[in-house]
Amino acid sequence: MQDEGFEDKAGKTILIRTEKRKLLLVGLGKLGELTVLDWQKAFAGVARKAKEVNAKTLTIALPIEELAKKTTMTPQNLIKGAVEGLSLGSYEFLRHKHEDERKKEKKIEEVTFCVDKKFEKEVQKGIEAGELSSKATVFARDLVNEPSSVTTPTFLSLVARSLAKENSEISCTVLGRKEMEKLGMGGILGIAKGSAQEPKFITLAYQPERRHQTVVLVGKGVTFDSGGLSLKKQEGMETMKLDMAGAADILALFSVLPDMKLNVAVIGLIPAVENMPSGTAVKPGDVLTAYNGKTIEVISTDAEGRVILADALSYAKKFNPSVILDLATLTGACIIALGEEVAGFFSNNRALSLSIQKAADKTGEPVWELPLVASYKELLKSAVADLGNVTKNRNAGAITAALFLEAFVPPKIPWAHIDIAGPAWAEKDTVVSPIGATGFGVRLILSYLEALGQEKKKK
């Protein structure tokens, strides 16, 4: 190890070749400082190395008792994190590559964990949990990476329908333009006006018999964000297929919810539209009326996410929710504030924000709370409507967007908004994700829902 200059740092590896096998030593650094994300990264590194040397079977020896003692993770969570790291590190999106290249993809076929027998049960549970959350994350990645010519609002509605078809515990309803007109969902209809694609409003429901709470999840489903008439600049516009990452997260969650055996009801709401410029598009200065009757002056057609979420958040009231969470690639300002690795979140409820922070710490999807500064609400005033959709300048852009959303949240309901504009997409290759969609948010919400279930059991 000394010869090779191996350092004991999280993620560092050294490969030793023997005649029959390859032995990979993995550094973890100081165990007392090891985060869940470091742990996942270490295993993502293992997966990448294994693929590089064409290893099909992995045998992983873990001193699990010592690891559980010295880190903040339980044996079960250690295994879960290891499985997640292995899956996420080996992810590639090759659907549109030539067949020859797809065939060349090196796949890890089997992984064996060697641990002390007394942890057998926990290890098994950890494997199952890790497989489930990885499956959901990959589901979200695939949907977001797929070009927007495929993942239209109609396509998303078909994905939702097929989830309901596959599972009797899930039901799905889809509203088209006509139904939305009847209900007065003017925000979604307004943003959809410039596109040839029909907007869809998707509702997914998972309502197990034993349920003590109802969580409504709302996901921004802008299948492509050109900016509309407030057109975005050319550079980087191709990545705006990512603007349905919130919606993808919700579909991904529903793909595994029945396997989670939760005792909470979960409702998923997805306003799905394409934001395009055209002769029929919504114009700056137009006024739209949202589902709750509030009027919005569309000053920038590029601030479309908050306008469609206005309808969805106010519609959530119908389900008498105990909590509303929304996931949205909402603002570039949030990326400026927190960068690519951390999501910003906002909440009108202390207990809820603590639960979200806790869920994030447990999963390796970092979040940071930003304040809903009440005095900034004034900046959203409009001369002609109840609210303008943007403020005069870009100051505190992530906060003013969240304040706009808050105006449409049904009164007195704990709500949190998670702005995933940064971490939903990897601009550069990292060990846990190639360039493109990351599936950020899926594991965070899974962990939040899991904790909700346990809360009740304790009581």
Q: Contact positions toward ligand BES, by CB under 6 A?
A: 225, 243, 300, 302-305, 329-333, 390, 397, 421
81 vs 118, 129, 141, 354, 382, CA distance in Å? 19, 9, 18, 22, 48
Q: Which residue, 98 or 233, is less far from Zn ion as judged by CB?
A: 233
Q: Which residue, 62 or 191, is less far from ligand BES as judged by CB?
A: 191
* CA separation for the pair 358, 447 (Å, rounded): 9
Site string for Zn ion, 229-268 (x = CB under 5 A): --------------x-------------------------
The single residue among 221, 305, 388, 410 that binds Zn ion, judged by CB under 5 A, is 305
* CA separation for the pair 384, 305 (Å, rounded): 21
Q: Which residue, 187 or 305, is less far from Zn ion as judged by CB?
A: 305
Q: In the complex, what is the shortest distance from the CB of residue 73 to ligand BES, in angstroms, rounded to a whole number?
A: 31
Q: In the complex, what is the shortest distance from the CB of residue 441 to ligand BES, in angstroms, rounded to a whole number?
A: 13
- Report what 390 binds from Zn ion, ligand BES, none; CB cut-off 5-8 Å by kind: ligand BES
Q: Please, which residues have CB within 8 angstroms of residue 68's CB and are 6 or more apart in sequence?
A: 74, 75, 78
* CA separation for the pair 186, 296 (Å, rounded): 9
Q: Which residue, 266 or 424, is less far from Zn ion as judged by CB?
A: 424
Q: In this structure, is the dihedral angle defined by the CA atoms of residues 314, 317, 322 and 327, taken in order, positive or negative?
A: negative
Q: Which residue, 146 or 302, is less far from Zn ion as judged by CB?
A: 302
Q: In the complex, what is the shortest distance from the CB of residue 383 to ligand BES, in angstroms, rounded to a whole number?
A: 18
- Report what 333 binds from Zn ion, ligand BES, none; CB cut-off 5-8 Å by kind: ligand BES
Q: In the complex, what is the shortest distance from the CB of residue 342 to ligand BES, in angstroms, rounded to a whole number?
A: 14
Q: In the complex, what is the shortest distance from the CB of residue 452 to ligand BES, in angstroms, rounded to a whole number?
A: 28
* CA separation for the pair 84, 91 (Å, rounded): 11
Q: Is 419 in the site for Zn ion (CB under 5 A)?
A: no
Active-site residue, selected from the candidate residues 51, 70, 232, 317: 232
Task: Give me 247's structure tokens.
Answer: 């919606």
Buried/exposed 305-327: b ≥16 CB within 10 Å, e otherwise: bbbbbbbbbbbbbebebbbbbbb
**With contacts defined by CB under 5 A, how many residues of the chain interact with Zn ion?**
5
Active-site residue, selected from the candidate residues 241, 306, 362, 443: 306
- Report what 397 binds from ligand BES, Zn ion, none; CB cut-off 5-8 Å by kind: ligand BES
Site string for Zn ion, 179-218 (x = CB under 5 A): ----------------------------------------
Q: In the complex, what is the shortest distance from the CB of residue 167 to Zn ion, in angstroms, rounded to a whole number?
A: 30
Q: Is 225 in the site for Zn ion (CB under 5 A)?
A: yes
Q: Please, which residues have CB within 8 angstroms of residue 411's CB and are 6 or more apart in sequence?
A: none
The single residue among 302, 311, 326, 450 that binds Zn ion, judged by CB under 5 A, is 302
Q: In the complex, what is the shortest distance from the CB of residue 230 to ligand BES, in angstroms, rounded to a whole number?
A: 7
* CA 217 from centre of chain: 11
Give the nearest residue (CB) to ligand BES.
332
40 burial level (CB within 10 Å; 0-12, 13-18, 19+): buried
* CA separation for the pair 91, 139 (Å, rounded): 11
Q: Which residue, 256 or 442, is less far from ligand BES as judged by CB?
A: 442
Residues across the chain: 459
Q: Which residue, 129 or 334, is less far from Zn ion as judged by CB?
A: 334
Active-site annotation holds for 306: yes
Task: Give me 96's structure tokens.
Answer: 């549109």
* CA separation for the pair 266, 207 (Å, rounded): 6
- Report what 331 binds from ligand BES, Zn ion, none; CB cut-off 5-8 Å by kind: ligand BES
Q: In the complex, what is the shortest distance from the CB of residue 391 to Zn ion, in angstroms, rounded to a whole number?
A: 15
* CA separation for the pair 224, 241 (Å, rounded): 5
CB atoms within 10 A of CB 383: 6
Q: Which residue, 80 or 220, is less far from Zn ion as judged by CB?
A: 220
Beta-strand runs (E) in 168-253: 170-175, 200-206, 214-219, 221-225
DSSP 131-166: HHHHHHHHHHHHHHHS-TTTS-HHHHHHHHHHHHHH
Active-site annotation holds for 232: yes
- Report what 387 binds from Zn ion, ligand BES, none; CB cut-off 5-8 Å by kind: none
Q: Please, are residues 301 and 325 in contact by the beta-carbon 8 Å criterion?
A: no
Q: Which residues bind Zn ion (CB under 5 A)?
A: 222, 225, 243, 302, 305
Residues serving a catalytic function are 232, 306
